[in-house]
Amino acid sequence: LPRAETVFNDYQTKKKSGPCFEGTRVALLREMANWVTGRDESRMYILSGLAGIGKSTVAYTIASRAADLNLLGASFFFSRDEADRNNAKRLFTTIAYQLCVYNERFAKAIGDALRTKRGSAATTKDPQEQLQVLILDPLRSIVKSRARPVLVVVDALDECDGDDVSAVVEGLSQLVRELPSFKLILTTRPLPYLDDFLGNQGGCHKLFHLQDIEDKIVDGDIRLCLKHNLSLEMVRKCFRRRQWCASDEQIDALVRAAGRLFIIASTAVRYILDKSAANPAAQMQELLRACAEEHTPFTDLDHFYNIILRNVVPANCANQNIVTRYQSVVGAIVFVSRPLPVSTLAHLIDMDVEEIHVVLDNLQSVILLGDNDVPRIYHKSFPDYLTDQARCKDPCLRIDPKIGHTQIMTRCFKITNKHLKYNILGLGDPARYMSNEDGLKKDGITDLQLQEKIPPQLRYASVYWANHFEVADIEDTGLMNGLEKFVDEHTLHWFEVLSLIGNLDSAHRAIRAVIKLLITQKSTSSDLHQFLSDALRFISKFYELIKRSGLHTYYSALPFSPTSSLLYRRYIKDARHYICGIEGGPEKWDALVAILNHGEWVEVIKFSLDGTLFVSCSEKSEPLPVPMLNKQGKLKIWDAATGTPISTIPGHSHKFEFSDDGSRLASLSRDCGLTLWNTESGGLVGAVKDVDHRHMAISAKGSLLATADDKKVTLWSENRDHLAKIEVLDLQRTRSIAFSVDNILAIGTEFAVQLYNTNIRSFISTISCNRRPTMALALSPDCTHLASGNSYGDVYLWDMRGIDSSSPLSQEATEVTAMALSRDCSRLACWFRRGTVELWETSPTKRRIASHQCDDSVSAVGFGPDGRLFASGSDDGTIKLWNAGDGSLHGILIASGRLEAVALS
């Protein structure tokens, strides 16, 4: 089972902090302990509080006490700065592993599940599948007869990737609902999504806000903690010859300065007892002097952190070397994608280990250095402060993300360009022709030898360089030179290393990210862009082969690549030592990018407006154990360039729409309600149940949604991690809705088109349609024209700039069933119930064709991006391609069954 290092005692040891000090948080801990062991009907206890108020310490204390009583089944501590703990990918596999350790019967049941095909596959599936297959199904029958509670503690939900939060909350809720003996303690900062979710769950949870505890109780707890930690006994543990302890007046001053935040109190203790300063009395005076100058407590941490940082960079520091060293070291610790030991950081910032320790020795109160020499930021409020220009006002102390990521990125390329090479492990015959696993075994390559050949800094640079590239300054000359050298000399070597270390999946994402950024750079070489495009096709086509054997990148994949591709021409000349030679191979990449497995009967496919994504949809009528989704079936989002799956969304939708920028996908169904998804991550942005509406529209940037039924139009807004209802418009008999680019909502009602400005929350115009129901609406991409069609066959074209109606474009005496505007608004295509197709010029208004070549009613229509072709789809499954210039029929395709949508690339 893949698992994260998150057991409460291991994690807290790294953080060098322990449980709540004896005598503090007494009432709260008693209440929580009684809840764990009592018969309270609630199954979830949510502890909510602001940053630094002590949530994690309470969670650790409860977990520790529960473990002593053999009640702790599992724990998971989210952490923003660690790749395996800042998302939900390993949450339920980690919980499953700990449950195996906790109970033999649990271990046998979960072990049996892992031996099945579905169970073994679930370890790499989405969190919902992991929960269902590895925990719920195996344990459901066992826990029914269990009397003692099993406690699961999950800390710092707010440090989980925002796109995963909803899946975590819903999954944990399902866990305690379906396994009655399980109880859950969850800590988090206040999250709007969580409030909304809990509001719909009835009485199955308890919610406690730490900030609601009376000031005098919190101050008393902080005073008790400070008095103990700054007592003579504790001071002498750090400094044997010191006869100093904090006075009552000094303790009172620190309590006032802490402003209810335990993080300030604990950080103050570490500052005063800093061994590198070795003078607690002087440190105390310095701290209190700074507090007195401000005459305010450190309630927002900013001034407090400023004082700490002055140990490294004095005020008005004239030595630029000191500033640069500080910013490089702290910036690297903040920006790396996962915590790294000092020895590896030294390679990433090109600095001696000793110099790094000079900085860290003076920041021990905010950056902890564990036994494994890995620096860890004590509290996430620290990097928040460092990178915020409004809060950290001194440019010498502030860490600029763009500069920091550029420096790390440049060093990543220097590392890869230095170390990457063909057959990096030096495998001999026949090992180099075998799979990775068999080849290493054949040549006796040990884990230690693997680490020596592919050192930690090379592993990090190979896997994570694109994370930094996305934030870096791509106009930096050194950065771009490094990229060009990397691409030209080491692309295949990079694939080899990624295969050997089991991270080949990061290649797709890295190349896509770079191509996306380079498109915006006019100065970028066209060859570089084409080379990267070839590399993306290459890794997509030969992924499974290269994943199995890194060296077959050269032996099997390269020889079968198109001979005219830049990648082939560049690397085949170095292939004299490769075993495979091919004659008569393909000259160009063929049309097939990839064969994709959706896994079920695919009913609908739709492209995003920019053509970079497409979504496939299926339905399967089986129960799905997700609180918000009642049908199995799924939406899959795919990268249109490579065919690689970006995300899988559970549940069936009868209607879905991309936002114009492709960042959001909205879906609407009677079973699942209204849902909004992030297309890059597949994370749920927000969902609303019981939205039984017929019509849906999404704004250009995906931040607004509109749904409509016969009686009302409802507007929804993306609000951090949930969908908020912002307005309900009482409109009878709405037939269609559409958004313009500037968020004007066009609403087609029975006898009019109404324009509603969502920015000012007001109707701005009502356009009469001669008392004929508006059945179809289309807005031009540039927001200048609106077309409407009614049930009598009239099609109107409107100039949005003047809200003036043209005369009816058509006088067909039959209902308009579909319509579309070309991207440049120069053509309008209309379809009618009896099978007629009309193509109109919009300026001046002129009908170009009126065709009766459709044998059945047209139900779907779409223009190609360049406007030269358009397609019509009929109820009988006929697809026709038309020339938009002269109206001639370009071709006919036959599909099976009624068509709901068509799209042209």
Q: What is the mean pLDDT of the chain?
A: 81
Least confident range from 296-300, 501-505, 834-838: namely 296-300
Residue 857 pLDDT > 70, yes or no? yes
pLDDT band at 100 (very low <50, low <70, confident <90, very high): very high
Residue 807 pLDDT > 50, yes or no? no
Cα 524 from Cα 265, distance rounded (Å) = 52
What is the residue whose two structure tokens read 């896994």? 599
Residue 202 pLDDT > 60, yes or no? no
Q: Is 576 or 309 the better-scoring residue by pLDDT?
A: 309
Please give the pLDDT value at position 878: 84
The answer to whether 830 touches 814, Cβ cutoff 8 Å, is: no
Tokens of residue 647, six digits:
């995300």
Cα 521 from Cα 533, distance rounded (Å) = 16
Q: Mean of the pLDDT values across residues 141-164?
A: 85
Residue 88 pLDDT > 60, yes or no? yes
Please give the pLDDT value at position 414: 95
Please give the pLDDT value at position 299: 43
Least confident range from 339-343, 494-498, 791-795: namely 791-795
pLDDT band at 805 (very low <50, low <70, confident <90, very high): very low
Residue 296 pLDDT > 60, yes or no? no
The per-residue pLDDT for range 421-434, each reduced to its tens digit, is 999 999 998 888 89
Q: Mean of the pLDDT values across residues 776-798?
A: 68
Regarding the domain delimited by 320-399, which CATH topology (the fold level of the hierarchy) does it fall under? Arc Repressor Mutant, subunit A (1.10.10)
Q: Mean of the pLDDT values across residues 545-571?
A: 91
The per-residue pLDDT for range 636-664, each reduced to its tens digit, is 676 665 556 666 665 555 577 888 777 88
Strand order in the sheet with 837-842: 816-821, 827-832, 837-842, 845-851
Cα 679 from Cα 667, distance rounded (Å) = 12
Least confident range from 74-78, 382-386, 563-567: namely 382-386
Please give the pLDDT value at position 322: 93
The answer to whether 889 touches 853, Cβ cutoff 8 Å, is: yes
Residue 629 pLDDT > 50, yes or no? no
The per-residue pLDDT for range 403-419, each reduced to its tens digit, is 999 999 999 999 999 99
Residue 420 pLDDT > 70, yes or no? yes
Q: Is 686 or 185 the better-scoring residue by pLDDT?
A: 185
Q: Mean of the pLDDT values across residues 569-580?
A: 74
DSSP state of 894: E
Whether the ω angle into residue 149 lies within 30 degrees of 0, i.e. cis, is: no
Neighbours of 479 (CB within 10 A): 21
Q: Is 352 or 615 the better-scoring residue by pLDDT?
A: 352
Please give the pLDDT value at position 672: 67
Cα 116 from Cα 511, distance rounded (Å) = 35
Whether the ω angle into residue 645 lies within 30 degrees of 0, i.e. cis, is: no
Percent of the chain with pLDDT over 90: 30
Residue 121 pLDDT > 80, yes or no? yes
Residue 479 pLDDT > 90, yes or no? yes
The strand pairing partners of 778, in sequence order, are: 787
Least confident range from 276-280, 566-570, 589-593: namely 589-593
Residue 163 pLDDT > 70, yes or no? yes
pLDDT band at 773 (very low <50, low <70, confident <90, very high): low
What angle (nearest 5°) sits at the alpha carbon of residue 863, between those of residues 861 and 869? Answer: 115
Q: Is 694 or 75 the better-scoring residue by pLDDT?
A: 75
Pairing type for strands 664-669 and 655-658 reads antiparallel
User: Nearest Cα to 480, choosing from 521, 535, 534, 539?
Assistant: 521
The per-residue pLDDT for range 438-450, each reduced to its tens digit, is 999 999 999 899 9
Domain 8-212's class? alpha beta
Residue 125 pLDDT > 80, yes or no? yes
Please give the pLDDT value at position 579: 62
Please give the pLDDT value at position 434: 93
pLDDT band at 623 (very low <50, low <70, confident <90, very high): very low
Q: Mean of the pLDDT values across residues 544-553?
A: 92
pLDDT band at 707 (very low <50, low <70, confident <90, very high): very high
Neighbours of 290 (CB within 10 A): 17
Task: Give the pTM.
Answer: 0.56
Please give the pLDDT value at position 622: 33
Please give the pLDDT value at position 611: 58
Counts for the chain of helices (H) and strands (E), in that order: 30, 35
What is the residue whose two structure tokens read 């503090």? 24
Cα 530 from Cα 534, distance rounded (Å) = 6
Please give the pLDDT value at position 810: 47
The per-residue pLDDT for range 297-347, each reduced to its tens digit, is 444 567 778 878 888 898 888 899 999 999 999 999 999 998 999 999 999
Burial level of 383, CB count in 10 A (0-12/13-18/19+)? Answer: buried
Q: Is 530 or 889 the better-scoring residue by pLDDT?
A: 530
Tokens of residue 447, six digits:
């884990």
Neighbours of 788 (CB within 10 A): 27
Cα 652 from Cα 661, distance rounded (Å) = 23
Q: Mean of the pLDDT values across residues 481-488?
A: 94
Please give the pLDDT value at position 167: 85
Residue 811 pLDDT > 50, yes or no? no
pLDDT band at 11 (very low <50, low <70, confident <90, very high): very low
CA Rg value for the chain: 31
Q: Which residues contact 271 (CB under 8 A, 6 or more apart)?
A: 283, 287, 307, 308, 365
Q: Mean of the pLDDT values across residues 592-610?
A: 58
Tokens of residue 752, six digits:
């009019």
How do the residues of the chain divide into helix, strand and coil, expressed in percent and rounded to 5?
A: 40, 20, 40
The strand pairing partners of 804, in sequence order, are: 799
Least confident range from 242-251, 461-470, 510-519, 678-687: namely 678-687
Residue 621 pLDDT > 50, yes or no? no
Cα 864 from Cα 848, distance rounded (Å) = 18
pLDDT band at 620 (very low <50, low <70, confident <90, very high): very low
Residue 175 pLDDT > 60, yes or no? yes
pLDDT band at 80 (very low <50, low <70, confident <90, very high): confident
Q: Which residues contact 628 (CB under 8 A, 6 or more apart)?
A: 170, 651, 672, 673, 675, 687, 689
Q: Mean of the pLDDT values across residues 350-375?
A: 86
